[in-house]
Amino acid sequence: MPEVAAPVPGTTTIAVRGSSPYDVVVGEGLGDRVLPMLGADVRRVAVLFPDGLRALAEPVVAALEGAGLRVLELPLPEGEDAKTATVAVAAWDALGEAGFTRSDAVVTVGGGATTDMGGFIAATWLRGVPVVHVPTTLLGMVDAAVGGKTGMNTAAGKNLVGSFHEPAGVVCDLATLRTLPRDELVSGLGEVVKCGFIADPEILRLVESDPEGAADPASPVLAELVRRSVQVKVDVVVGDLRETAGFAGAGGHPGREALNYGHTMAHAIERAEGYTMRHGEAVAIGMVFVAELARRAGRLDDATVDRHAATLAAVGLPTGYDGADPATLQAAMKVDKKSRGDQLRFVVLDALATPRILAGPAEADLLAADAAMRGGAR
């Protein structure tokens, strides 16, 4: 196998150090980075990609085949439709028919749903084979591809079946962002802004000072936002890979659970909307909801609460929702992964970049936050 290529100008390598170290490479012109990450023993590689992104997967397939590897192409349904048990079984059957062993590997090319599902398939085939992620969306780069969480959806909710399976590497080629529809790119900014609120206020400053640059795939502002957001996730994940730190209680940093800021309501909305709403849009709404919940609970100051809607709106993200009724959303939130028994638990902010857990909020506060969320619908 070839040695690791020399750094490309403007390329950043973020080291993820832990029990299974790997690198996240961010830059442009990174087509040669996948092969070295797979390891010297791999002979067969399954490349998973949404059927509509075959053109983006073809260069990866060609590079692997050019290095003498046997490639199994496994196109997936688009978006959340890929994250079903039926798709998983079909992929496992294909890997079995092709004779994949533990020394073989998986490569994913696509957005967050592809990395979630491709990672899950890699994690469960023979109890785990290596996987390299090549995220092609902003959401995939700053969230789904990094950290080792994999999962699929069920009728009960989103990502309720899954495992932790760290990748062998992640290649974020920023050039692929230029292929995205603007709405899809803007949606990914929901996760970027989240990183600013929970850990890195410089992200918020960059977005607020140049919202157009933040949503421009060719802008150095967006490149810096990707690097900073990946670093936030890496820093949190290294300290709490399996999301256990948050069990300690509300007194300290909730560990990896902090990355779920806004997600409890977001997942409830996604389920209520039949997974037709973009994830980043739902997260934006969920952050507005939980900021208001923190204000009502006496945890967060007015200026920081109001900053949520202002920053999100500046880049074109939604700041309210008036769809499913409060009872429906609360029922969905009770099967969220962060819930304990019948008690709702939310990641909130006690101050900017100070995430904490709010367990069992008062019903009156939940309803007031829900009303504020509906008031922000547009």
Residue 346 backbone dihedrals phi, psi, to 5 degrees:
-125, 145
Mapping DSSP to helix (H, G, I), strand (E, B) and coil, where does residue 58 land?
A: helix
Is 179 annotated for ligand binding?
yes
- Nearest residue to 42 via CA among 67, 18, 60: 67
Mean pLDDT, each 10-residue run in order, the chain (378 residues):
45 89 93 90 95 93 95 95 96 97 96 94 96 96 88 88 94 94 96 98 98 96 96 88 60 88 96 93 98 98 98 97 96 77 89 96 96 84
Is 233 annotated for ligand binding?
no
pTM reported for the whole predicted model = 0.90
Is 176 annotated for ligand binding?
yes
Is 113 annotated for ligand binding?
yes
- Nearest residue to 77 via CA among 41, 102, 111, 104: 111
The pLDDT assigned to 339 comes to 60
Close Cβ partners of 99 (under 8 Å, ≥ 6 residues apart): 44
Q: How far apart are CA 119 and CA 207, in angstroms?
A: 31
Q: Is 78 exposed, middle or buried (0-12, 13-18, 19+ CB in 10 A)?
A: middle
Is 246 annotated for ligand binding?
no
Residue 40 backbone dihedrals phi, psi, to 5 degrees:
-75, -20
Pinpoint the alpha helices (H) of the chain: 34-38, 54-66, 85-98, 112-124, 138-139, 182-198, 201-209, 211-214, 220-239, 263-272, 279-296, 302-314, 326-333, 363-375
For residues 7-17, one letter each, b for 16 or more C-beta atoms within 10 angstroms of the residue's C-beta and e for the rest, the string is eeeebbebebe
The pLDDT assigned to 4 comes to 38
Is 264 annotated for ligand binding?
no
Is 158 annotated for ligand binding?
yes
Mapping DSSP to helix (H, G, I), strand (E, B) and coil, where does residue 76 land?
A: strand
Is 115 annotated for ligand binding?
yes
| Contact between 198 and 259 (Cβ < 8 Å) | yes
The pLDDT assigned to 146 comes to 87
Is 116 annotated for ligand binding?
yes
User: Letter for the amino acid at 319?
Assistant: T
Is 28 annotated for ligand binding?
no
Q: How far apart are CA 132 and CA 121, in angstroms?
A: 12
Is 202 annotated for ligand binding?
no
Q: How far apart are CA 317 and CA 310, in angstroms?
A: 10
The pLDDT assigned to 375 comes to 87
User: Letter for the amino acid at 107?
Assistant: V
Is 114 annotated for ligand binding?
yes
Is 292 annotated for ligand binding?
no
Q: What does DSSP say about strands 345-351 and 354-359: parallel, antiparallel, or unpaired? A: antiparallel
Is 136 annotated for ligand binding?
yes
Is 84 annotated for ligand binding?
no
Is 177 annotated for ligand binding?
yes
Is 149 annotated for ligand binding?
yes
Is 112 annotated for ligand binding?
yes
**Domains of the chain, earliest start first:** 12-178 (3.40.50.1970), 181-375 (1.20.1090.10)
Q: How far apart are CA 35 and CA 4, in angstroms?
A: 9
